[in-house]
Amino acid sequence: MPYQKELNIALAAVEKAMKLSLCVERRLKKISVIEKQDRSPVTIADFGSQAVINMLVVEAFPEDVVVGEETAENLRNDQNLSNQVLELVRYAGLTATPNRIITCIGSSTESAAFSDRFWVVDPIDGTKGFLRGDQYAIALGLVEQGEVVLGVLGCPNLPARLDRPEDEIGCILYATKGSGTWMRIFQSKADLRVFVDSVADSRCAKFCESFEKAHAAHETHQRILASLGITTASLRMDSQVKYAAVARGDASIYLRLPRKKDYQEKIWDHAPGSIIVKEAGGEVTDFKGRALDFSTGKTLRNNSGIVATNGHLHRRVLDAISRVIN
């Protein structure tokens, strides 16, 4: 399998980060929540998860840069927060010091050659879902020359089967270029290859979108769905778990149209999930049918809107978008 060493490290890092996040979930009432500049909540789980992932990736690939969502500024300024993160990192099984953690998290702020090779990480994607005890993801991807070649999504609260929530909870979906998409049941360590669904009639398609109304234009999504003849209720989920849902056939379509016209999607919100859908047989583009361009920096400034489908419906969805928006 191509990128085998990278995949092994990525899976180990995400598994440790999942262990850490589940530890924090068990004591949610004691979480230290602060406000970032964009006023979205961030917790010790975000910092701890990013520290664990960055440490393992940088140790294995010292020449690589990791581009992540979090910065180390809050840890430098808050000793209590730093100590809580240190405790979590050690719980995840890594030897660390506060300075080592700050250095590792800070490494994600280094200038990356976005046209070359770099890693991208969202340590807790969907923090509001995390705080609700709902869906969130630990997302890690590898990009080379603007193309995502590896993606891992750790989904601690995702059932092995969405229609059977009483079954095993906790999945890791992963993919490397040309090797398909696989799902690992977290507790049993069973690995299964997964595929998008085969729905070709848009009227029979299941649709997913962001849980938070502030994150996506739900009303525009509904107009697009009406144009496609879709009448079933939307599956609303936080984070890149929506990509996982399309990749394994829980949904046929995922749309994301930001409410602000000038909003630029962050690369860590889409890189891992996009390859996981594509390697499962699906397709991912922006609203104009353009491939996502991960070579331009920390945002997808050359793209507008996100469309992920099972592939069979992609052209039809793009046509509906054109009818509704243009």
pLDDT of residue 110: 56
Q: Which of 323, 162, 187 is nearest to 244 (CA)?
A: 162
Give residue 268's pLDDT.
Answer: 96
How many folded domains does the chain comprise? Answer: 2
CA within 13 Å, CB half, 117: 8
Catalytic choice (43, 127, 181, 309): 127
Which residues span the domain enclosing 172?
4-194
Tokens coding 73: 């500024």
Q: Look at residue 36 in the predicted model and tell me its pLDDT.
A: 67
Q: Are residues 52 and 145 in the same domain?
A: yes
The single residue of 43, 46, 122, 309 carrying the catalytic annotation is: 46
Q: What averages of pLDDT result for each successive group of 10 residues across the chain (326 residues)?
A: 93 96 80 66 87 94 89 84 89 88 73 84 93 94 96 96 85 97 87 97 95 82 94 93 97 91 92 98 97 95 96 97 90
What confidence score (pLDDT) does residue 259 get?
A: 80
Chosen domain end from 144, 164, 194: 194
Domain shared by 230 and 312, yes or no:
yes
Residue where a domain terminates, one of 194, 214, 235: 194
Could you tell me the CATH number of the domain that includes residue 272?
3.40.190.80
> Would you give the DSSP letter of residue 287?
T
State yes or no: is 262 an active-site residue: no
In this structure, the strands spanning 207-210 and 253-256 are parallel
The 3-class SS string of 246-286 reads: HHCCCCCEEEECCCCCCCCCEHHHCHHHHHHHHHCCCEEEC
Same domain for 209 and 178? no
Closest to 124 measured CA to CA, from 53, 213, 217: 53
Residue 31: per-residue pLDDT? 67
Catalytic residue status for 46: yes
- What is the token pair recorded at 83? 């100590």
Q: Are 152 and 95 within one domain? A: yes
Q: How many CA atoms lie within 13 A of 315 on its CB side?
A: 2
Residues 190 and 210 in one domain: no
DSSP secondary structure, 98-142, as one string: HHHHHHHHHGGGSPP-TTSEEEEEEEEE-HHHHHHTS--EEEEEE
Q: Which of 238, 233, 243, 234 is nearest to 194 (CA)?
A: 243
